[in-house]
Structure 1
Amino acid sequence: MSAPHRIARVDALRGFALFGILAVNVWAFATGYYASGIADPAGHPVIQLIVSTLFETKFYLLFSFLFGYSFTLQLDSAARADVAFVPRIIRRQLGLAAIGVAHAVLLFHGDILTAYAVLGMVLLALRGLSSPRAVRVAIGLVLIAGTAWTLLGVLDLFTHSQVDAAAVSTRVADSVAGFRGTPETVVAEHLRQLPGTLVVVLLVQAPSALAMFLLGFAAGRERVLAEPERHRALWSWLLRAGLPVGLTGAAFYGYVATYHPGSPVETLAIGVGMLTAPLLTGGYVALLLRLCETRAVAVFAPAGRLALTNYVAQSAVLSVVFLGYGLGLIGRLPAPAVVCVTIALYAAQLAVSAWWVRRHRYGPLEWLLRAATLGRGPRRIRRALLP
C-alpha cells in the first residue's frame, strides 16, 4: 500500500539515516565507556575511529534536515485537507514528545525525539521566514555555536585539568552494574543519566539540529528533494567542496575522540566538528541522491516510511541484547561483535519494513502519531488509514 503525496527519495534518505543513527547509538548500549571522557580499555581504536569520523554528529543532522523538510509536507497536507495547521502540528509535537519521554526513560536516555518535539515548536514560530532568510539564520546558528565551542576549546588548552581516570572508571562500573541489573535498575540508571544528557543536547545538539530544521524547511519550500534535477549545481558544490571540508573536520574530530578523549583538545574538536559536520551531511545527501537514481531507493524507502517505529525498535532490541531487560551483554561483547549486531539488526529492519509496507500504510508508532496529529479516536483514524 502506498500513501499519497510521499516522496520516495525522502523516505530513502530517512531509511539510510537509520543506519547511521544505529551505528552510533549501539555503543551507548554496548559499553559503559561511551562518552565517558576516557577510552574503553577493551575498545577497538580502528572501529571507534571509523564511527567517530563518519557517523557521530552526522546522521542526527540528516534526520534533523529531513524533519524540517517534512514540516513543509505537513503544511501541504493541512492545506489539502483544508484544516488549521497550528493546532494540528502542536498535537503532533506533543505526541512526539510523549513517545520521546517514554523512549528516554525506558529504553535510551540519549533520545532525540523530545528535543525534536521542542525544537519543532521553535520551527513553527519561525515558519514565516522566507527560504533565503531561513538559510541565513541556519548558517548563523552553526557559526555561532561552532565558534563558541572552538573558542572554549582554545581556552581549555590553557585551563584544562587532568581527568581522574580512576573516578571515571568507578562511575562506569556502577553504571554498567545498573544496566546489567533488573528492569528497575535500568530505568533508574536512565533517570540518573538524563540530566547530563539534556545538557549535551541543549549545548551541542540543539543549535545544530535547529539549523538543519531550517535548512530542511527551506529545501522543502524549494522542492529540492522532490525535484533534485533542478538543483544540480547545489549537489555538485556539496560533492566538490562540502564533502572534502566536512571529511577533514570529521577526521580531526574522529582522531581526537578516539585517541585523546577527555584531553584539552577534545572541546576544540567538538567545535570544529560542529562547524564542518553540516557540510559532510550535505555531501552524504548528494551521494545518496545519486544512489537513489538506482533501485536502492526501493531498498531503503520502506525503512524510512517507518522511521519512528524503527528508531524506537532499535533501542528496544539493543536493550534486550545489552541491558537488564534481557541478555545484559553491556561491556561483554568485543567491538567486532557489536558491529555484527549493528549490521544484522539494520538488515532485519530493512526486510521487516519492506514486508510491513506491503500490508500497511503506517507503522505502529507512525499510526499513533498520526492519530494524535489528526485528533481522532481509534475507530475514526483506522477508517482514515484504509486505502
Structure 2
Amino acid sequence: MSGDAAGAAGAGAQGGRVVEVDVLRGFALFGILLVNAQLMADPYTAFGGGPGASALDRAAAWGVTATTTAYQLFSFLLGYSFVLDRRAAGPSDTGSAPRHLRRTAGLFGLGLAHAVLLYPGDILMTYAALGLVLYALRDLTPRAAVRVAVCLVAGLAALLLAYGLLTVALTGPVTPAQYAPRVADTVAAYRGGFGSVIGAHLRELPSALGANLMYTPDMLAAFLAGLAAAKAGLVERRGRDRAWLRRTALRWLPVGLAGGAVTAVCADGPLDSRWFLVGHAVSLLTAPALTASYACGVLLLADAVRPAADVLAAAGRMALSH
C-alpha cells in the first residue's frame, strides 16, 4: 500500500468521514430520483412516451436516457462505503459476518416493503443479495477486483448485444399501440382501491425482479470497482486534486456522452424498441466513462460551491443511503 493510501486507511479506521464520498452519494441519489420520476410518470417509458406524448416529453425522456448513469455511481459508492465501514470497525474481522447479514436482511426487508407498497421496480432487494456476494469477495486485491469487474461487464455486454441483434433480425417492431391494452389494465388497477394497487404491484414484481437480475453482473462489477477504489484510497488521494479531476472529467466525458446518445437512439427513438438491448449493451461499456466524468465534475463543483456541496453531503450522510 502506498503512503497516501495507508494514510487514508488510517483516517477511515479512526472513524473520520470522507466528505467527498458523501457528496457523490448525495449526487447519485438525486440522479436516481430523476430516473425514477421518468419511470413512474409514464407506462410507455420503453417507447420514449406513449401515443399522446408531446415532443417535449419525448425530448426529456431521450435526454434522461442519454445522460444519466445514476445507478452505476450509486453501486460504485456502495462498494466504496463497504470498505470504509470495515475500516471504521477496526482491524479485527470478528463478528462482521453476522453484522453484515443483519444489515443486508434489513435492506432486503425495506426493498420488499417498498416493492409491494410503493413501486415494484425496486433495486434494494437485488442490492441486498449482491451485498452477500460482495462480502464473500471482500479480500480481493484491487487489481483482482477490477479484473473481475471488467469480465462481468464485457460478458454481459456481449450477451445483450448478441440477443439484441437477434431480436432486430428475427422480430418485427413493437409499437405503443400494441402495448396499449396492457397499459390500460395497469392504469385501471392503479386507479382502484388499496387492494387493487397492491395487486398490480405483485403482478409486476416478477418482471421487475427479472430485469434487475439481468443487470446483476453490472451492479456487482460497480460494487467491485468501488471496493478496489476504496482499498487504493482513490477519493481520499484525488478528491481535491483539481488538476487531476479536471483532466479525468474532460478525457472521459466525450466517450460517455457518445455511448449515452447511442443508448437513447436505441431506447427512445428514432430506432424502434427492438434495438433496446443493443443500446444497453453499448451503455454497459461506456457508462463507466460517463460515471467517472460526472464524479470528477461534481467534486470540482463541490470544491468551488460549498453550499451545494453541503446539501449533497447532507443527503449522502443519511444512514439509509448506504
TM-score, normalising length from structure 1? 0.73
What secondary structure sits across from 2:51 in the alignment?
A: coil
Match of 1:110 in 2: 121
Match of 1:174 in 2: 185
Deviation at 1:137, TM superposition (A): 0.8
Deviation at 1:167, TM superposition (A): 3.8
CA distance in 1, matches of 2:216, 2:191: 30
Indicate conservation of the 8 Å contact 1:157/1:264, yes or no: yes
Q: Deviations over 1:103-159 (max 9, x none)?
A: 111111111111110001111111121011101111111111112211222222211
CA distance in 2, matches of 1:244, 1:259: 21
CA distance in 2, matches of 1:183, 1:230: 50
Deviation at 1:75, TM superposition (A): 0.9
Aligned residues: 304
Find 2:213's aligned residue among 184, 202, 205.
202
Q: 2:145 matched to 1:134?
A: yes
Q: Which amino acid aligns with 1:12?
A: V
Deviation at 1:5, TM superposition (A): 2.2
Q: Deviations over 1:46-70 (max 9, x none)?
A: 1111111112xx1011110000001
Deviation at 1:276, TM superposition (A): 1.0
Find 2:164's aligned residue among 153, 160, 180.
153
Match of 2:51 in 1: 41
What secondary structure sits across from 2:64 in the alignment?
A: helix
Indicate conservation of the 8 Å contact 2:157/2:285, yes or no: yes
Indicate conservation of the 8 Å contact 1:65/1:216, yes or no: yes
Q: 2:80 matched to 1:94?
A: no
The structure-2 alpha-carbon separation of the partners of 1:215 and 1:125, relative to structure 1 and needing over 3 Å to count, comes to same
Q: Which amino acid aligns with 2:233?
A: R
More displaced, 58-67 or 174-183?
Answer: 174-183
Indicate conservation of the 8 Å contact 1:13/1:285, yes or no: yes
CA distance in 1, matches of 2:256, 2:220: 19
Match of 2:297 in 1: 287
Deviation at 1:233, TM superposition (A): 8.4
CA distance in 1, matches of 2:315, 2:106: 21
CA distance in 2, matches of 1:248, 1:110: 27
Q: 2:67 matched to 1:54?
A: yes
Deviation at 1:30, TM superposition (A): 1.7
CA distance in 1, matches of 2:192, 2:161: 39
CA distance in 2, matches of 1:132, 1:235: 22
The structure-2 alpha-carbon separation of the partners of 1:234 and 1:209, relative to structure 1 and needing over 3 Å to count, comes to farther
Match of 1:144 in 2: 155
The structure-2 alpha-carbon separation of the partners of 1:81 and 1:183, relative to structure 1 and needing over 3 Å to count, comes to farther
Match of 1:269 in 2: 279
The structure-2 alpha-carbon separation of the partners of 1:81 and 1:262, relative to structure 1 and needing over 3 Å to count, comes to same
Q: Deviations over 1:340-372 (max 9, x none)?
A: xxxxxxxxxxxxxxxxxxxxxxxxxx8xxxxxx
Q: Which amino acid aligns with 2:61?
A: Q
CA distance in 2, matches of 1:85, 1:75: 8
Indicate conservation of the 8 Å contact 2:163/2:277, yes or no: yes
What secondary structure sits across from 2:299 in the alignment?
A: helix
CA distance in 1, matches of 2:26, 2:87: 22
TM-score, normalising length from structure 2? 0.87
Deviation at 1:234, TM superposition (A): 6.6
Indicate conservation of the 8 Å contact 1:14/1:307, yes or no: no
Match of 1:212 in 2: 222
Match of 1:119 in 2: 130
The structure-2 alpha-carbon separation of the partners of 1:211 and 1:238, relative to structure 1 and needing over 3 Å to count, comes to farther
Indicate conservation of the 8 Å contact 2:267/2:275, yes or no: no
CA distance in 2, matches of 1:18, 1:77: 23
Indicate conservation of the 8 Å contact 2:49/2:61, yes or no: no
The structure-2 alpha-carbon separation of the partners of 1:237 and 1:84, relative to structure 1 and needing over 3 Å to count, comes to farther
CA distance in 2, matches of 1:237, 1:19: 25
CA distance in 1, matches of 2:149, 2:130: 13
What secondary structure sits across from 2:45 in the alignment?
A: coil
Q: Deviations over 1:257-279 (max 9, x none)?
A: 22247533222111111111121
Deviation at 1:79, TM superposition (A): 1.8
Q: 2:311 matched to 1:299?
A: yes
Q: Name structure 2 gaps, 5 residues minimum.
A: 1-13
The structure-2 alpha-carbon separation of the partners of 1:208 and 1:82, relative to structure 1 and needing over 3 Å to count, comes to closer
Indicate conservation of the 8 Å contact 2:255/2:289, yes or no: yes
The structure-2 alpha-carbon separation of the partners of 1:47 and 1:38, relative to structure 1 and needing over 3 Å to count, comes to closer
Q: Deviations over 1:309-361 (max 9, x none)?
A: 7xxxxxxxxxxxxxxxxxxxxxxxxxxxxxxxxxxxxxxxxxxxxxxxxxxxx
Q: Which amino acid aligns with 2:291?
A: T
Indicate conservation of the 8 Å contact 1:32/1:173, yes or no: no
Q: Which amino acid aligns with 2:286?
A: T
Q: 2:253 matched to 1:253?
A: no
What secondary structure sits across from 1:158 in the alignment?
A: helix
CA distance in 2, matches of 1:187, 1:262: 32
CA distance in 1, matches of 2:139, 2:78: 17
Match of 2:76 in 1: 65
Match of 1:330 in 2: none
Find 2:231's aligned residue among 211, 215, 221.
221
